[in-house]
Amino acid sequence: MAFGADELCVLRRALAVALHPAPLSDEDVRACLRLAESVDEAVREAGRLRAFLLADLRRYREALPGSVAGYLELLHSALDADYLPGPDDLAALRALRGNPAAAALLDRCRGLAERSVRARLTVRAPARLLALPGGRAADDPPRRREPRKPEEPQEPQRPQEPQEPGRPGRRPRPGPDRPMPKPSEVFPPRRRPTPPPERLAAG
């Protein structure tokens, strides 16, 4: 899209007003409206030409290989108009790989297709939060990590004797498999004290 000298003057005044708001005369307003209408018409015309170009490209692609010269020329023009080649174009160019012009267009179309795929993956990928340099943590001095001391081996704990439930500190009663102790084992007989030796009276 190209602007004439008069249209560029109108566009410059419009940009100046956008940056520094100021009242416009009626003539300037009408000139801006005419420029907007011209831009809209040019956009619509570009859309119509693109549709015609893609329709011709499809017809020439369906008529391959007899229409190879016209197809390559139309494809080149479509790529210059920001056309993204599709799978049908890549398949047609692979079939025409023996033609040097077709081989060059195949490399170009592959590059465009790969960039398009990477762009879609980048948009779909979730944004990652990255730590930015600075902030309060940047003012603090860096902390040194002290080496961890080896843990000392712990002594094995002695197994505790089972206690009778409900009565802590007492040994469990003998079960049915353990014989009942005898009274003499539980209460051993007392030994009588030995009498002191008698002293002989001095005679």
Q: What percent of the chain is predicted at pLDDT more than 70?
A: 60
140 secondary structure, DSSP code = S
* Residue 101 CA: distances (Å) to CA of 18, 56, 68, 152, 153: 48, 19, 10, 77, 78
Residue matched to tokens 């012009």? 101
> What mean pLDDT do residues 128-156 have?
56
For the entire predicted model, the pTM comes to 0.48
Q: What is the pLDDT at residue 175?
A: 53
22: exposed, middle or buried (C-beta count within 10 Å: 0-12, 13-18, 19+)?
exposed
150: exposed, middle or buried (C-beta count within 10 Å: 0-12, 13-18, 19+)?
exposed
Identify the CA nearest to 77 among candidates 50, 113, 40, 117: 50
Q: What is the pLDDT at residue 38?
A: 86
- Domain boundaries, given as residue ranges, for the chain: 5-124
d(CA 157, CA 151): 17
d(CA 51, CA 57): 10
Reported as a single tens digit per residue, the pLDDT across 10-63 is 888 888 888 888 888 888 888 888 888 888 888 899 889 889 999 999 999 999
Q: Please, where are the H alpha helices in 4-99? A: 5-19, 26-62, 68-80, 87-95
